[in-house]
Amino acid sequence: MRRTDIVSLSNGRENRNRRWRDARRQYDAGSGIKSVEDLYAVLSFFEARAGQLYGFRFRDPVDWKSCGPLETITAGDQIIGTGDGVIAGFPLTKTYADAGGASVRAIEKPVADSVVVSVGGVVALPGDFAVDEATGLVTFGPGKIPAAGAVVRAGYAFDVPVRFDTDRIDIDLAQFQAGRIPSIPLVEIRP
C-alpha distances (whole Å) from 171 to each of 32, 58, 66, 131, 187 are 14, 22, 36, 40, 20
- Residues 94 and 78: their CA atoms lie apart, in Å, by 6
Question: 164, 29 in Cβ contact below 8 A?
Answer: no
How far lies 41's CA from each of 44, 79, 108, 171, in Å?
Answer: 5, 39, 26, 13
Q: Identify which has the larger pLDDT, 89 or 1.
A: 89
Residue 171 pLDDT class (50, 70, 90 cuts): confident
- 29-38, 85-94, 155-164: least confident range: 29-38
Paired sense of beta strands 116-119 and 122-123, if any: antiparallel
| Cβ neighbours of residue 19 closer than 8 Å, sequence gap 6 or more | 3, 4, 5
Mind listing the pLDDT tens digit for each residue in 82-129?
A: 999 999 999 999 999 999 889 899 999 999 899 999 999 999 999 999
Q: In 3D, which of 20, 23, 42, 44 has the Cα closest to residue 33?
A: 42
